[in-house]
A and B are shown apart, each in its own frame.
Chain A
Amino acid sequence: MNEQNDFDARLRQARQKRGLDKADADAAAGGSSGLAGSALRVGMRAGVEVVSALIAGAGLGWLLDRSLGTFPWLFMLFFVVGGAAGVLNVYRLFNPRNGAPR
């Protein structure tokens, strides 16, 4: 156990001398927005979130319509709700619920 601690300390020392830890710290500072690496990736995530919320809303409305026999109305209503949920999803992407890590 002692041998292992010693190894960790020596490894840290060696990494510091070579300036390897600084690169790690810089990378951590750059990627502080969680999964987001580049702007393109954030855009892709946001787009997927909006589209999937729209699909979920429209699908739910369509299913309700089919069982209740009120075809276009609930579908249209839930399409709008899906759009709102998409905006909510994107908002959550950048501001997670409180208590959530990062």
Chain B
Amino acid sequence: MAAEGKTIDALSQFELTHAFGPIGAAVNFTQSNAHMLAACVVIVALMAWGMAPRAVVPGRFQALAETFYEFVENLVAGQVGHEGKRYFPFVFALFMFVLFGNVIGLLPFAFTYTSHIAVTFGLAFLVFLVTTVVALALHGKKFFGYFFPEGAPLWLAPIIVPVEVVSYLSRPISLSVRLFANMVAGHVLLKVFATFVVLLGGLSWFGPVVALLPLSVNVLLVGFELLVAFLQAYVFAILTSIYLHDAVHLH
């Protein structure tokens, strides 16, 4: 009787609800937006608070802020080269927003805004627009030579050009789908095993003992999800830098 009506409901965690009561409902302010706002506040607080002392030997917060800064700076400089420094703020903002979205989403009762394709595609489309505008601004018409490699026979152009254009257009899709799929898969997995714990726990006298199995799996999964959260933010940032490299150098 106890298990009846209880099913594995792994997807309702992604549903949007209004935050901040009637005021939020009036302006369609969802808990996703609230978490974005929270992530931005945490990021700004971390950077402002961490940078405030300006000590030679950093304290805890300064060390954390400097670690993030240097990590992204090395990544951008390594991928785009020295002239890529001017795109550092863009990549850094993206990296921090995605990273804190992923990590905050792992906290109990929190919502993962990076688990919505609308959000990740919005970010990826921004990357796509910025890289295209950068390439057009730096190279002008020569940018269109990107779609036809030098030295290829001209009669192949009708085949190569559409393929290259579609390949270029697929970038924001692959960028957004990768992040979105990873976050959704991780949270569904967590939810499924958490439901196993509850369902098995009420089975009979041996239920609690069996429930230890999915519980231990969940403990491991949380650690794995933390890894994925960092990894996906890193992948998002490094692919953005690779696209920027292509935009700056062309070929």
Contact = CB atoms under 8 A, between A and B. Distances in A.
A88 interface: yes
Interface residues of B: mostly helix, strand, loop or mixed? helix
Contacts of B79: 101
A78 B162 contact: yes
B83 interface: no
Contacts, number: 69
B167 A88 contact: yes
Contacts of B238: 35
A32 B166 CA distance: 29
Interface residues of A, number: 27
B242 interface: yes
Given A84-B163, A100-B245, A101-B245, A55 B170 contact: yes
A85 B235 CA distance: 21
B89 interface: no
Interface in B150-165: 159, 162-165
Interface in B162-183: 162-167, 169-171, 173-174, 177-178, 181
Given A48-B178, A88-B164, A56 B169 contact: yes
A56 B165 CA distance: 10
B249 A60 contact: no
A51 B173 CA distance: 9
B174 A89 contact: yes
6 contacts: A53-B174, A81-B162, A85-B170, A88-B167, A98-B251, A101-B78
Interface of B: 78-79, 159, 162-167, 169-171, 173-174, 177-178, 181, 235, 238, 242, 245-246, 249, 251
